[in-house]
């Protein structure tokens, strides 16, 4: 598997998937106790690990895609709390730093779909 010419190791994929599942359960059970944020409505779509497994880029989208920038901002602000809860859920040598990013792949896919429909008319 390759991303912009760089190969992604099996270990990166495995650790990324483990973190994705753990974060999904943490958000679903609202274990982070972040004020003014309904974590049940957050979907973790992808986790990309750095080659040294010390940083994780986490792509999230709120339910319906509404107010995504505000949600991502809150997650960035409270990433230390999320990281602390995550440390109790997974066993890795180094717990990665978490960087939350708004996942706009669904918007991009919708845009491409609309362009395809326009060309078919």
pLDDT at 8: 85
Domain count for the chain, please give it: 1
Judge contact between 86 and 19, C-beta under 8 A. yes
pLDDT in tens, 43-100: 899 999 999 999 999 999 988 777 888 889 999 999 999 999 999 999 888 899 999 9
CA distances from 111 to 59, 65, 72, 107, 114 (A): 19, 15, 22, 6, 5
DSSP letter at 95?
Answer: P
Residue 3 has pLDDT above 60, yes or no: no
pLDDT at 6: 76
pLDDT in tens, 19-28: 999 999 999 9
65 or 117, higher pLDDT: 117
Whole-model pTM? 0.83
CATH number of the domain that residue 58 is part of: 3.30.300.20
Give the separation between CA 33 and CA 27, rounded to whole angstroms.
Answer: 9
Judge contact between 44 and 20, C-beta under 8 A. yes
pLDDT band at 36 (very low <50, low <70, confident <90, very high): confident
Give the separation between CA 35 and CA 118, rounded to whole angstroms.
Answer: 44
Domain that holds residue 113: 2-120
pLDDT at 4: 62
Q: Return mean pLDDT, the chain.
A: 87
Judge contact between 101 and 72, C-beta under 8 A. yes
């Amino acid at each position: 598997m390759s991303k912009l010419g760089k190969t992604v190791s099996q270990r990166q994929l495995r650790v990324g998937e483990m973190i994705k599942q753990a974060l999904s359960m943490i958000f679903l059970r609202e274990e982070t106790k972040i004020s003014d944020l309904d974590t049940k409505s957050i979907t973790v779509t992808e986790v990309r690990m750095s080659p040294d497994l010390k940083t994780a880029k986490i792509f999230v989208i709120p339910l319906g895609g509404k107010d995504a920038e505000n949600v991502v901002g809150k997650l960035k602000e409270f990433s230390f709390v999320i990281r602390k809860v995550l440390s109790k859920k997974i066993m890795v040598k180094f717990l990665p730093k978490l960087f939350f990013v708004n996942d706009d792949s669904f918007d991009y896919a919708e845009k491409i779909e609309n362009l395809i429909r326009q060309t078919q008319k």
